[in-house]
Amino acid sequence: MADENIIMGHAEDNDGIEEYDNSLPDWWLALFFACIIWGGIYAVMYHGYQQTSQEKLYLAEVAAAEEQWGGAAEVDLAAVEITPELIAAGEPIFTQNCVACHAADLTGGVGPNLVDEEWIHGGEYADIVKTVTDGVPAKGMLTWGPILGDEKVRQVSAYVYSKSHQAN
Ligand code: HEC
């Protein structure tokens, strides 16, 4: 650096600390301006031309997932046919997971009676599937969806539905 050190001369205001007033080093200025130019280019690329902003990546991923799995999760429950096979498949699932609270004859215990006319969350097949899938965690009814998976939930719900509609 060719410059002489220039002193600001207000050390008495600053606990005796002197401050230089030298011009900024060239390397520092070069970095500074390079950053400004880079920032401009980056902003234009990011908001304007570039294809890989986070938003676009996200939308592309969602579109790909939609293509791969789309529709599969959407089952029209009202249209599910409650076949004897579906009910039969549900029985052992009920025995294994549900009797502790709803009893083997479904008349209830910790959990409510499932074969009387009273329903807290609705007694249609779609209602039962929804209650079993989502559970009622605040009341001690587990969220079975992730535990059993959609298919088993549909089977065990068919079993509950058939039992309750037999009794009535
Ligand atoms: C740990 C005890 C427990 C277990 C195990 C359990 N439940 Fe429940 N269940 C409950 C309770 C408590 C409620 C009442 C929730 C409320 O009050 O909203 C309930 C509610 C329900 C309802 C709604 C009843 C209504 O009147 O609307 C259905 C259907 C049901 N359970 C099915 C099942 C099935 C199927 C299983 C096995 C996969 C199961 N439950 C396992 C405790 C349990």
Specify whether 60 is located in the same domain as 103.
no
Is 6 domain-assigned? no
Specify whether 107 is located in the same domain as 154.
yes
CB neighbour list of residue 116: distance below 8 Å, 6 or more residues apart: 107, 167
pTM of the model: 0.65
Range of the domain at 133: 77-167
Is 46 domain-assigned? yes
80-123 pLDDT, tens digit per residue, is: 888 999 999 999 999 999 999 999 999 999 999 999 989 999 99
Mean pLDDT, range 64-72, rounded to an integer: 73
Specify whether 48 is located in the same domain as 84.
no
* Ligand 1 touching residue 115 (CB < 6 A): no
Is 1 domain-assigned? no
The model's confidence at residue 148, banded by pLDDT at 50, 70 and 90, is: very high
* Ligand 1 touching residue 120 (CB < 6 A): yes
User: Which amino acid makes up residue 28?
Assistant: W
The per-residue DSSP string of 155-166 comes to HHHHHHHHHHHH
Cα separations in angstroms, 112 against 16, 95, 115, 149: 81, 16, 9, 23
Best substitution site from 101, 106, 143 to test ligand 1's pocket, by max atoms within 8 Å of Cβ? 101
Which region among 41-50, 109-118, 126-135 has the lowest average model confidence (pLDDT)?
Answer: 41-50
